Homo-oligomer: A and B are copies of this chain.
Amino acid sequence: MNYSNENEFLKDYDPEQYSPVAVTVDCVVFGITKVSSENYRKLDKQSLNVLLVKRKDYPCKGQYALPGGFVGQDETLEEAAVKVLKHKTGLDDIFLEQLYTFGDVNRDPRMRVISCAYVSLVNTENVSISDAEWFTVEEAAELPLAFDHNKIVQEAVMRLRGKISYTDIVFYMMPEKFTVSSLQEVYEIILGKKLIPAAFRRTIADKLEETDEFEKSAGHRPSRLYRKKLNSKDT
């Protein structure tokens, strides 16, 4: 067909003529929680956790999955992610960033579904979660998650690992006030390696400001609490 202008072309255009494709969003929500240590002389250990929901319907009924859903005609990808988080986990107004789009041909048994994944970071002390459960990243890796969600979680961990070194996003997961050693532990969990305390303190110093408060913990000298410096860059 030869069209003389774009409107004529569009009048003739039939979106139904192509094989159907669907687009979803899947949300990887990370948070730090404390796990009680068996050794009473140690403080509670922290762990990196991911939020999962148990699927109530087919496909993959009964399996754990990332909170996700189809992208509606009239919403952007980010709007879809915000809606999914609110409906499936109760989370609202949290840090959200696009991670990667997953398009393996057979990743969904229903039809061709391309999924745009988002990463959120939350401070677990400040949020209440409904219909969703925290799993440590290690526990999640052991579970057979629905679709390609194991792969998505793995990619998200890699991205987080890459970004905490050159951005300030780690603070989205921290309580308002924290000790330097607790912050170091969070870096160590995410990076998967031990850091040297003196070197860590030096690197992080200009992002932190002292408070007048101290952490009370039995059997230890109280540690000073810090907060993120306000003028420190946001990401």
Contacts and interface: CB of A to CB of B under 8 A. Distances in A.
B58 A6 contact: yes
A98 to B, nearest CB: 6
Q: How many copies does the complex hold?
A: 2
Per DSSP, chain A at the interface is loop
Contacts of A19: 73
A141 interface: no
A23 interface: yes
Interface of A: 3, 5-6, 9-10, 13, 15-16, 18-23, 58-61, 70-71, 73-78, 98, 100-101, 103-105, 109-112, 114, 116, 166
A22 B21 contact: yes
Contacts of A74: 105
B13 A18 contact: no
A15 B20 contact: yes
B59 A10 contact: yes
8 contacts: A6-B58, A10-B58, A16-B16, A18-B70, A21-B71, A76-B103, A76-B105, A101-B101
